Structure 1
């Protein structure tokens, strides 16, 4: 693979303190800083930056504490998302600064570009000089200490010797340094699919094979299994089947020119590509950087034709109908969903292909489980909950939703608001001082709780945490009564799983003499 041979020397060190190291291409400056710290023998707990004086560009750490970016000009870049290649091939020297207090300046010279480097990690080839002590005052403070330690009669000898003995800087050991570098994990943004898969353990590779319903892999050793998976994952059959369930962000990633995408650590938009073995990821404390190998993008362009894209859209719509049916009915025969889909799309589906499709759907893409020839909302998959819902639904006919209702629930996550829900939203805006978007979110959440068979306690628990004026409203008899009355009216018009998607018709509450509202027998608020 491609790599760079660097010579890193501490400025103003006499005799020179330097290291010659090879680093892989395609890595970020953040990863390069980790490599350089290990290479030089630094512990790595100080701040750092890279300076390219010829181009006038600096590559900085992202630090909320120091707010570096508040005063940065447009020539300062974030080390977490800046790859080294362009810079190292444009300029043959740059400066690495470690510890803004001691200010260790390193002159880094790019000695050569290698195209046949055999490792995916950095390795030190040669070195000269021991690593200076951390926090000793920089290069001149280090030499001053050396002078003191060379003279036992110096008045500061004992104090300096004791301080040095407490330091954790160790004697430079080339073999140990290279061992640490080989275990240092960072994302190589030029990595091939084979290199990404090689980073997994054999058991993890087996899980990837299972995700794709592959067979015949148990006979392989790890290296052979990697080769097997590379071929299978790039094949048209496997790729087209798995990619049916990609989200729009993942499709845009595949079709765009960029090889990497940086997201917050909790962002899961690209996890499906990762779970399928198609992408690599580098994560730190705050962010994740996903990387797509070029051969994956090339295979996508070749395998996933315009006809396939239309089939994928159809599959996405078909799955939406099942998710909507699960949320509306709780328990629903598969054939009922197929009939709704046929009604709106005029597309016929045979039973065998439908069941095969449902078995292929990833767990995180559906809100239901398949039990025989029916789907069950995941909340009711346990036997006791399932039987309880069946008893409550007894005698109810299935509600027939319109195409508009299906698309609203499937794409937006809620059913169209009725008159009573609009009045509840207006209450949150006027009396609760909520913004329009926040009021709508409260209403959607209330609708969801009612739809899936939730209770008034759950609605109040949610409001206590999410409604800013909750305490004030609950302490005011008039406002509390208005809130409960409006929720009661919303309850009557909301489609629920308990009634197989139908809305409640009967009275559910009554006003009592002591001005409390009873929404269910025996439960007062």
Structure 2
């Protein structure tokens, strides 16, 4: 798990900021090092993190001191949606506002900058007001170089791990995990031999899983799980769920108190309703089969699984305690399951609408939803459901009656997208399952028009599944986001597709231009360039002053470079 932070220099105009994902279980000293590297500070001054009305403060010096208070874990303070301050150099008083945008799945032990605005900062220039007098001397921020530096870091975990009293045969487990690793490494069953190997590995995994169910002691109560944690772990869980009044308890009292609160019908129903369809399916599978092997990143990704189950990280074995199972069975009436199904369906529609259009009026979204589902949901109910999805962390935004990808809020990009989209109608498939599938997979599956690109990867670079599909998905994402052809060729290079000669470059450009005809884009309200061309039978105009570079694929969808097509005589 990790924390997505947006860190902004206070009073900078336009705002200077970095969006950074940092791993959990690090200290405020680690976070200071991350921030200083991301803004170009040089560790020459004291720093402090402050929460609320200065009620919590963590102070550090450049070289460490007995008076420092920053060598504590950040986790208890990283609550989604909160903001706090980081002050660097108590003379120039550089204040950084830090917002915890979301808690995200993240396995790495190093930080990563994902977006940024503005240059590096300048030391000893008199603070933010003096900075603008010397801004021409500020070095540009190099995200690639900083992330390369971050990748060499290996931040130690400072947060106590749960105790582990479960036992199993280590040799048997290791052998099974090696087999499972082979499955994950890319066996796909493309031929009879590999299919047989997969079936053999799956059978071995099933036998190992059955053995774990026999040898690992059952969990009778959620309280048993909590007793394997430290008191700080339990306090953190209570805080994550928004509980108060838990600081007065001893560890065993807190474990029982927390269990009682989490098994309250109203509270558990709320968590179940917010769970995704995949998460509920895994939870039910663990109950039905009396435990399942599961990767730790799945546990950290899913709130329901992490709240109501016990996990042995060494064995990668997950179980649901008996008292949780009994409560779940009482809650899950046919009516409740129907309510969950409606919520999952609505989420799938939102995912697909955002994938295809980027931004869409809620009114139009409701029209699409009702036409497919034959219902009469109104705009008010849809808006409420969308807000609930946003509150639980879905990457949407709701503004001015528009549902959109949250990234389009940056600098009001959604207005620019809507201006480009204006001439087009919405792409709405006749088959509602096709519509939903875009959101479920967050991609456009290969078909008879795009299979040529998969074949190109096979023939020229000897790429096989699943690598070929991952490349295909990254390429279509780049095309959807209007990446230029050079950036897309770099994507191929990162996948070790050797493109060095001019002939190879021209061939790659040709394949990319051809592929761009068949990728559904926000610019065309979910249509492909080919579909818009067939409909209008004329060159598409480029509204809104859209910037098109000479070597970009021409937005008309011809497959040619802009300079050889619509831009030829300009």
What band does the TM-score fall into relative to the shorter chain? 0.5 to 0.7
* Residue 449 (1) aligns with residue 478 (2): yes
For residues 506 and 433 of structure 2, the distance between their equivalents in structure 1, rounded to whole angstroms, comes to 33
Question: Which residue of 510, 515, 523 corresponds with 1:485?
Answer: 510
DSSP-derived class of the 2:317 partner: strand
Shift of the alpha carbon at 1:273? Answer: 2.0
- 3-state SS of the aligned residue for 2:297? coil
Structure ID, larger Rg:
1
Q: Which residue of 1 aligns with 2:166?
A: 28
Q: Does 1:374 align with 2:402?
A: yes
Q: How does 1:236-251 map to 2 (within 5 A)?
A: 236-244=265-273, 245-248=275-278, 250-251=280-281
Q: Is the Cα–Cα contact under 8 Å of residues 276 and 344 in structure 2 kept in the other structure?
A: no
1:296 Cα deviation from its structure 2 partner: 0.8
Identify if the C-alpha distance between structure 1 residues 410 and 498 changes in structure 2 by more than 3 Å, giving closer, same or farther: same
Residue range with higher mean Cα deviation, 353-362 or 343-352:
353-362
Where does residue 527 of structure 2 map in the other structure?
502
Q: Distance in 1 between matches of 2:179 and 2:518?
A: 53
Alignment of 1:46-445 (within 5 A): 60=171, 82=212, 190=219, 192-197=221-226, 199=229, 201=232, 203-210=235-242, 217-218=244-245, 221-222=248-249, 229-244=258-273, 245-248=275-278, 250-255=280-285, 256-268=287-299, 271-275=302-306, 277-284=307-314, 288-361=316-389, 366-371=394-399, 373-383=401-411, 385-402=413-430, 403-417=432-446, 419-435=448-464, 438-445=467-474
Q: How far apart are the structure 2 equivalents of 1:203 and 1:362?
A: 26
Shift of 1:377: 0.9
Q: Matched residue of 1:336: which SS?
A: helix
1:452–1:189 CA distance, 2 compared to 1 (3 A):
farther
Residue-pair matches, total: 346
The 1:86–1:494 alpha-carbon spacing in structure 2 relative to 1, beyond 3 Å, is: closer
Aligned alpha-carbon RMSD (Å) = 4.3
> What is the CA-CA distance between 1:261 and the residue it aligns to?
3.2
SS in 2 for 1:332: strand
Tell me the CA shift for residue 437 of structure 1.
5.2
Q: Is the 1:425–1:439 contact (alpha carbons within 8 Å) kept by the matching residues of 2?
A: yes
Matching residue of 1:180: none
Alignment match, 2:24:
none
1:329-365 Cα distance to aligned partner (Å, 9 max, x none):
1122222222211111112223443333233337787
Q: CA deviation at 1:318?
A: 1.0
Aligned-pair CA distance for 1:460: 1.8
Q: 1:226 to 1:362 in 2, by over 3 A?
A: farther
Distance 2:371 2:489 in 1: 39
User: Shift of the alpha carbon at 1:219?
Assistant: 8.0
Change in 2 beyond 3 A, CA 1:395/1:444 = same
Q: Secondary structure at the residue paired with 2:311?
A: strand
Runs of 5+ consecutive residues of structure 1 not aligned to the other structure: 1-24, 31-57, 88-187
Corresponding residue for residue 178 of structure 1 = none
- Are residues 1:475 and 2:501 paired? yes
Q: CA deviation at 1:305?
A: 1.7
User: Which has the larger share of strand?
Assistant: 1
Q: CA deviation at 1:253?
A: 3.5
Q: Structure 2: where are the runs of 5+ without partners? A: 1-162, 181-203, 534-538, 541-547, 554-558, 565-570
Q: C-alpha distance in 1, partners of 2:281/2:459?
A: 42
Q: Taking structure 1 as reference, are residues 432 and 288 closer, same or farther at Cα in structure 2, changes over 3 Å only?
A: same
Query: How far does residue 264 in structure 1 lie from its aligned partner after superposition?
Result: 3.2
**Cα displacement (A) at 1:510:** 7.8
What CA deviation, in whole Å up to 9, does each residue of 1:244-275 have, x standing for no partner?
A: 32443543443534444333343448732244
Change (3 A) 1:291 1:332: same
TM-score w.r.t. length of structure 2? 0.51
Could you give the per-residue CA deviations for residues 138-160 of structure 1, whole angstroms, max 9, x where no partner exists? xxxxxxxxxxxxxxxxxxxxxxx
Task: Give the Cα–Cα distance (whole angstroms) in 1 for the partners of residues 173 and 518 of structure 2.
Answer: 51
How far 1:328 moved relative to its partner?
1.4
- Is the contact made by 1:449 and 1:459 (CA closer than 8 Å) also made in structure 2? yes
**CA 1:493 to 1:444, structure 2 compared with 1: closer, same or farther past 3 Å?**
same
Q: Summarize the Cα distance change of 1:28–1:418 in structure 2 as closer, same or farther, 3 Å threshold.
A: closer
Q: Which position in structure 2 is the counterpart of 1:125?
A: none
Aligned to 1:48: none
Scaled by the length of structure 1, what TM-score is found? 0.55
Q: Is the 8 A contact 1:260 1:292 kept in 2?
A: yes
* Alignment partner, residue 39 of structure 1: none
Secondary structure, aligned partner of 2:371: helix
| Corresponding residue SS for 1:237 | helix
Task: Report how far residue 317 of structure 1 moved.
Answer: 1.5
Deviation for aligned residue 1:423: 2.4
Q: Secondary structure at the match of 2:450?
A: helix
| Distance change (3 Å), C-alpha of 1:453 and 1:401 | farther
